[in-house]
Amino acid sequence: MLEGFNEMDALAERGFVPGMSKEERENLARSETTAIRLSNVANMVLFVAKVYASARSGSLAIIASTLDSLLDLLSGCILWFTAFSMQTPNPYQYPIGKKRMQPLGILVFASVMATLGLQIILESIRTLISDDAEFNLTKKQEQWVVGIMLSVTLVKLVLAVYCGSFTNEIVKAYAQDHFFDVITNTIGLIAVLLAKYLHDWMDPVGAIILALYTIRTWSLTVLENVNSLVGRSAAPEYLQKLTYLCWNHHKAIKNIDTVRAYTFGSHYFVEVDIVLPTDMPLQEAHDIGESLQEKLELLPEIERAFVHLDYEYGHKPEHAQARL
């Protein structure tokens, strides 16, 4: 809490949030762009390799892992499209920006992911029930499949460690996806080997495990993004920081009526009600409120801030909850 208050004091004194220099930020942005491009190129090359492995083996587990790689490509396209949309603002049609495009794109992608995962489960169950799980893999095919899957897993592990070293949310999402691929590739390879050397039904069972794991992972992602779209409140610790910043903004502030922060996409919208003296001139009151709004919007987590000026705090809230 004290560290958060010190950050707010630094913002009030210096007029900016302490952090990296402009040159350091530009270098970091270039590194993040490089990491994203490497991830996209790797996803494309590895997808082609896994398609070949699927064709050579005919394994449902490998096919499930390959579908996951296909969805990696789709997710990359969605992230690129949403990033492009957010960088091309239209203040007349979208007056508050397009930052909600990203969670919407993730929701669409997660829906496709869940549908394909369910299809894999149904096909695997049909194979188990019909007793068609005959798994014939020659020695040469086995060598190709094992070589491809081990290479893909190793490359994904290196990319997961590399992308995980960044703090950018999109790059971290790539790191999480790469690590997820390491798990799915490992499970798929183990299922293939078990099906060859133990019993044929191990392959569709491995595919079902992969599909369930995929659906579970993306269901958690859906819940997280739904919360960001429906306006979930910020944590109490963050509200404390905002309250501290507002209270120390100007000595003329007599009371703080409301401090509210809620998600509206990937960032927060903030509403603040401050109480100023009754006889204060409008110009002075306006300048205090506007400077507080600008100070709040300097925080990286905040997209927009709204500051309401009042002369007392004994009234009911301006926005009736019953109407909502």
Nearest to 67 by CA among 211, 271, 218: 211
Domain boundary among 229, 262, 291: 229
The first and second tokens of residue 208, run together, are 């079902």
**Same domain, yes or no, for 115 and 241?**
no
Q: Which helix (H) or strand (E) holds 71?
A: helix 60-86
**Same domain, yes or no, for 165 and 285?**
no
**Same domain, yes or no, for 33 and 177?**
yes
Q: How far is CA 257 from the centre of its chain?
A: 33
In a domain, 104, yes or no: yes
Phi and psi torsions of 307, nearest 5°: -115, 120
Residue 189 amino acid letter: L
Domain boundary among 178, 201, 229: 229
pTM over 0.85: no
**Same domain, yes or no, for 213 and 291?**
no
Give the per-residue pLDDT at 251. 92
Phi and psi torsions of 131, nearest 5°: 60, 40
**Same domain, yes or no, for 135 and 192?**
yes
**Same domain, yes or no, for 295 and 181?**
no
Which structural domain range is residue 76 located in?
16-229
In a domain, 210, yes or no: yes
Give the per-residue pLDDT at 171. 76
Give the per-residue pLDDT at 256. 93
**Same domain, yes or no, for 210 and 66?**
yes
In a domain, 3, yes or no: no
Give the per-residue pLDDT at 79. 67
**Same domain, yes or no, for 262 and 146?**
no
**Same domain, yes or no, for 34 and 83?**
yes
**Same domain, yes or no, for 53 and 158?**
yes
What is the CATH number for 220? 1.20.1510.10
Give the per-residue pLDDT at 53. 79
Q: Can you give the pLDDT of all 324 residues of the chain as single tens digits?
A: 777 777 787 777 766 665 555 666 677 677 777 887 788 788 788 788 878 877 777 777 777 777 777 777 777 777 667 667 766 777 777 777 666 777 777 777 777 777 777 877 887 788 777 765 555 666 777 777 788 888 888 988 898 888 888 776 667 777 877 887 888 788 878 877 887 777 777 778 887 887 887 788 777 777 877 877 788 899 999 999 999 999 999 999 999 988 999 988 778 999 999 999 999 999 999 999 999 999 999 888 888 999 999 988 887 766 555 554
Give the per-residue pLDDT at 128. 76
- What is the tally of structural domains in the chain? 2
Nearest to 79 by CA among 32, 117, 24: 32
Give the per-residue pLDDT at 67. 75
Domain boundary among 229, 247, 262: 229
What is the CATH number for 256? 3.30.70.1350
Give the per-residue pLDDT at 272. 94
**Same domain, yes or no, for 197 and 255?**
no
Pairwise CA distance, residues 97 & 38, whole Å: 29
**Same domain, yes or no, for 242 and 302?**
yes
